[in-house]
Structure 1
Amino acid sequence: MEAKKCLRCGIFHLGNEDVCKTCKENDMKDIEKLNSFMDYNGLEFSELKEKEAFDKVVFELGMSSEKITRYMNTYIKDEVYGGNEIKKNAESEIL
């Protein structure tokens, strides 16, 4: 097993995940909140490629754009984007 630095809290941990066990649990809670918001508002994750929809989710949930982008790249990219990562340009728009 390889020691990795947790992307969320910065501690080093052993494992294959990019986040430690505690942060993974917190990520799952945040993702549940994100999924509920998307369902309630009739949004599809593919719509978050559009800046306006993405910014609405960031504002309404109070989560950082970096956190939501990480969730989408880590946990749901294969389902929605065919494995392609979401990239942000200098103006913080989703490409």
Structure 2
Amino acid sequence: MLLAFSVAPSGTPSGGSRPTDASVHDAVAAAVKIVRESGLPNQTDSMFTTIEGEWDEVFDVVKRATEAVGQFGSRVSLVIKADIRPGYTGELTAKVDRLESVLEEQG
């Protein structure tokens, strides 16, 4: 499965003050660190982090990343999109490779 997710805090963290620039980069960094330490294939872009793996292992990572972000606010927003295709692996890059191949053929 490929799972893309975006997680962000809102509200004031307990015991702290809210940053004035409304940036969430520290919270996102905490989430991405958990994803990268999981050992699962992953990539992060400006909007989402995508993870590849089996159902239980992917959702475990998303849960832990969400809990880490929860430390930065009183509330957490989580967006998930999944491509569930049993029997396929390496799709994190293979899907893009197939697309690029078609684009090259079309010139």
Higher helix share: 1
Higher strand share: 2
TM-score range, shorter chain: 0.3 to 0.5
